[in-house]
Amino acid sequence: MGMTIAEKIVALAAGVPEAKAGDIHTVELDYLMSNDGTTHLTVDMYNSLKHPRIADKNKLVWIVDHNVPCDSPKTAASQKKMRDFAKLNGITFYEGEGVCHQVMAEKYVCPGQLIFGADSHTCTYGALGAFGTGVGCTDYLYGMVTGKSWVLVPETLRFVLTGELSHGVTARDLILTIIGKIGANGANYKAMEFTGPAMKTLSMSDRLSICNLCVEAGAKTALMEVDEITLEYLAQHGGRTPKACFTSDPDAVFAAEYEINLSEVVPVTAKPHFVDNIAPVSECADVAIDEAFLGSCNNGRLEDLRLAAEIIRGRKVAPKVRFLVVPASREVYNAALKEGLLNVFMEAGAIVMNPNCSVCWGSCQGVIGEGEVLVSTGTRNFKGRAGDKNSFVYLASAATVTASAIAGKITQAF
């Protein structure tokens, strides 16, 4: 019987010829990514083990990105614990280099790999044909100590993408539309696989944005086939070579298959307080905003900044609106700096920060107050996610967020 991409990657990691949805396999992990949201807890658990050891330190990548620069003595202590442990044990360590998933995509992830990340948005790596999934500290610790873990092979929902996005409609609108369609638990425990003729119209930036948000539909992982766009990205980013490039077999079994015509997608927003509470931007026009956020592992890449800069060049942020622009990584920051994009935002009156999770994480930088409204390219709009428990987050594309920052209310860009 044929296998899906997810089944093939698990089979490879388990060293077995075949895996099928529902099987449980012991797998060899390729990387274990962890960030400052939880690593200090993992370190505590590790230190309480009777015989602590690290199976392979080269598989560990630790990234401080959530509270950067540090905002309180408490987070400083957590980060110090993580930093000291990394230093002592020779673990690859990044601090201030960007949002973990963007850094992983730029430097590590290879097609065919199976990667655990102590962060729910680890499914981002599917854009590069890798099986990335989020785990908790205990799973992470087990992987760190043994180099292995177990995986319940997921069923796959297949999305066949056709057509082409209209001008002013982004990959972000596409994935939000899909989440709206299948619901916030529509892909629970499952893999979401994207394929179809429209794939060639989607850049790596688009693909990362799509896979990143699949966890908001409950997905365990997201997957895409490796093509020229993937290989070119790998070549430009350290000349990495794939572990394996998989496509689903013609006779693979899918839990469901959807055809999505990209030309039918319109700019949308996820209204408070659920990611699947989707409505066309036109329906939310006139919602006044206090803050706009362009950034995160979902939409803080160079292409997003270019699109936003094109919209805001020569214009100004609305007087009382705070427009937070946060490139997703140092690579993105440096490129945007060289292209003059950062000064476009500065001249418009935006607040341009160093690469980090910023208000998408919602515990420090750019938090919003009681009754305030944020329009955001971040990943979540849960109640209280961006600050005060009585505040409101609308998720939208880089284009919508930027146009809204200028208008002072939710506005469609094109």
Partner 1 sequence: MGKTLIEKIIARNLHDENVKAGDIVTVDVDRVMIHDIFIPFVADKFKEMGFKKIWDTDKVVLIYDHLVPASQTDDTRHFRAGDAFAEEFGPIHVHRSDGICHQLMPELGYVKPGDVVFGTDSHTVTYGCVGAFSTGIGYTEMAGILGTGKLWIRVPQTIRVNINGKLPENVSAKDIILTVIGDLRADGATYQSLEFAGDTVDALSVAGRMTISNMTVEAGAKCGLFVPDDKTAAYCGLGGTLPEELAQLRPDEDAVYSRVMEYRAEDFVPVMACPSQVDSIRPVAELAPEEISVDQVFLGSCTNGRLEDLRSAASVLKDRHIAPFVKMIVTPASRSIYEAAAKEGILDILSEAGAMITHPSCGLCCGRAGGILTDDEVVVATNNRNFLGRMGTSKVRIYLASPLTAAVCALEGKITVPAAYKE
The token pair that represents 282 in the structure block:
């036109």
Should residue 58 be labelled a site residue for partner 1 when binding is judged by CB under 8 A?
A: no
Given candidates 34, 75, 113, 296, which one binds partner 1 under the rule CB under 8 A?
Answer: 75
Q: Taking the C-alpha atoms of 288, 294, 299 and 302 in order, what is their torsion angle to the nearest 10 degrees? A: 140
Should residue 366 be labelled a site residue for partner 1 when binding is judged by CB under 8 A?
A: yes
Should residue 372 be labelled a site residue for partner 1 when binding is judged by CB under 8 A?
A: yes
Should residue 408 be labelled a site residue for partner 1 when binding is judged by CB under 8 A?
A: no
d(CA 410, CA 391): 16
d(CA 193, CA 211): 9
Count CA within 13 A, CB hemisphere, residue 248: 25
Given candidates 2, 152, 369, 382, which one binds partner 1 under the rule CB under 8 A?
Answer: 369
Should residue 322 be labelled a site residue for partner 1 when binding is judged by CB under 8 A?
A: yes
Residues 164-203 that bind partner 1 (CB under 8 A): none
| Secondary structure of residue 260 in the 3-state scheme | strand
395 has which bridge partners? 270, 376
89 or 146: CB nearest partner 1: 89
Should residue 80 be labelled a site residue for partner 1 when binding is judged by CB under 8 A?
A: yes
Give the binding range for partner 1 (CB under 8 A) out of 73-81, 147-155, 207-215, 271-279.
73-81
Cis status, amide bond into 40, omega within 30 of 0: no
Give the binding range for partner 1 (CB under 8 A) out of 11-19, 43-51, 70-78, 137-145.
70-78
Residues 278-297 that bind partner 1 (CB under 8 A): 290
Phi and psi at residue 178, in whole multiples of 5°? -65, -45
d(CA 70, CA 386): 17
d(CA 247, CA 66): 34
Should residue 368 be labelled a site residue for partner 1 when binding is judged by CB under 8 A?
A: yes
Should residue 70 be labelled a site residue for partner 1 when binding is judged by CB under 8 A?
A: yes
CA distances to 34, 43, 210, 219, 349 from 40, in Å: 10, 5, 30, 26, 37
The minimum distance between CB 167 and partner 1, in angstroms, equals 30
Should residue 87 be labelled a site residue for partner 1 when binding is judged by CB under 8 A?
A: yes
Binding site for partner 1 (CB under 8 A): 68-73, 75-77, 80, 83, 87, 93, 95-96, 290, 319-320, 322, 324, 330, 333-334, 337-338, 340, 342-343, 346-347, 349-355, 359, 364-370, 372, 387-388
